[in-house]
Amino acid sequence: MLKLKYLLPLLLFVVLAVFLAIGLRLNPKDIPSPLIGKPAPAFSLPILATPEKTLSQQDLKGRVWLLNVWASWCVSCRQEHPLLLELAKRKLVSIVGLNYKDEASAAQQWLQKLGNPYDVSIMDSDGRVGIDYGVYGVPETFVVDKRGVIRYKHTGPVEPGDIERIFLPLLQTLNLEPA
Amino acid sequence: MNKVIILILCLLALPATAVVEYHPFDDPAREQAYQTLISELRCLVCQNQTIADSNADLAKDLRQQVYDMLQQGKSQQDVVDFMTQRYGDFVMYRPAFGIKTALLWLGPIVFLLIGIVTVVVLARQKKVAAQTGLDSKQLGKLNEILQQGEED
């Protein structure tokens, strides 16, 4: 009985260490989005390539689409860019770029230099649509199903392996769902 | 002398970095609501700052959003709802009490109760020990003997 008394601090330490170890592995930037399972917030924004035309989320009904939030000033967007180009080649999904708080000329230069994975990019110059989507760390990627419901959100750059591990299986299931 | 001047200039320059954009209000109640809201909303870019304290671009946009909503006549609760619908409970420094946040609110009270119970139990044991001069092990044995005596 006396032995347990001396072991107690050690046990407490182990419990504490386990909690701290779990805490260290969590990503504090990864905040669960309340938008998952909800309809994609409405927008109607000018298209980067043809600013006289606009695109709204209604135009995308009936197909699975990605909304990738990017900007030419965003450093980690560069990092995920090749992965998006690769995903675009597979023709599994429409990729919509939300050009967040950027300048049209800088954005267009960026796409010319690095390649354009987007079926269409729209300009959110003042970041209001970004707020509606709860954007706080560019890049972010939303997966929207055929009925216009957000099914997944990826905060931060898409890392190598994420496409195979997360996006492809999800997109395949969503593509099979009825419109 | 030059060093002194430079030092004075540096000191003068400090407040300049703390300047945030100016949002004029006609109604003091709205201004009060604005100040309350921005000091209770978390900046999600720099997570340990409120949007009042943060210089991040997003914090500035959110301050603008709060200002616009209040000027449109929206209530404080409307702004809170707007923010939590988009950014989740995490955006509030004091999130509303709910299933998801119950542990957050009740956790400290539970730990406090555990602490109080522990202290009371230990103090009682010590008190008994002090009165009888027996430690808990000896007391246990004594109780055993007494019980045996009753059974016999």
Nearest CA in chain B to A129: B86
Same domain flag for B60 and B115? no
Residues of chain A with pLDDT under 70: 1-2
| Nearest CA-CA partner of B86 in A76, A36, A19 | A36
Please state which CATH number belongs to domain A36-176: 3.40.30.10
Q: How far is C-alpha B8 from the chain's CA centre?
A: 38
How many structural domains compose chain B? Answer: 2
Same domain flag for B30 and B73? yes
Same domain flag for B71 and B124? no
* A136:B44 CB<8 A: yes
DSSP letter string, A28-50: TT-PPPTTTTSBPPP-EEEBSS-
Same domain flag for B31 and B76? yes
Chain A residues touching chain B at CB-CB below 8 Å? 1, 28, 31-35, 101, 126-127, 130-134, 136-137
Domain ranges (residues) in chain A: 36-176
A112 C-beta neighbours (distance < 10 Å), count: 9
Output Rg (C-alpha) for chain B, integer angstroms. 29
**Which of the listed residues B41, B63, B91 is the one where a domain comes to its end?**
B91
Same domain flag for B64 and B34? yes
Per-residue pLDDT of chain B (152 residues), as tens digits, is 778 877 777 666 655 444 467 888 888 999 999 999 999 999 888 878 899 988 888 999 999 999 999 999 999 999 999 999 999 888 999 888 888 888 889 999 999 999 999 999 999 888 877 777 777 788 788 888 888 887 76
Same domain flag for B85 and B115? no
Domain interval for residue B109:
102-151
Residue A56 identity: S
pLDDT in tens, A95-147: 999 999 999 999 999 999 999 999 999 999 999 999 999 999 889 999 999 99
The per-residue pLDDT for A96 is 96
In a domain? residue B3? no
In a domain? residue B8? no
Q: What is the ipTM of this complex?
A: 0.81
Residues in A closer than 8 angstroms to B88, CB to CB, are: 31-34, 134
In a domain? residue B115? yes
| Nearest CA-CA partner of A131 in B21, B89, B63 | B63
Q: C-alpha angle with apex B133: B129 to B134, nearest 5 degrees?
A: 65
**Which of the listed residues B91, B117, B132 is the one where a domain comes to its end?**
B91
Q: What is the pTM of this model?
A: 0.77
Length of chain A: 179
Same domain flag for B41 and B83? yes
Q: Identify the CATH number of the domain in which residue B62 sits.
A: 1.10.8.640
Contact A122, A97 (CB under 8 A): yes
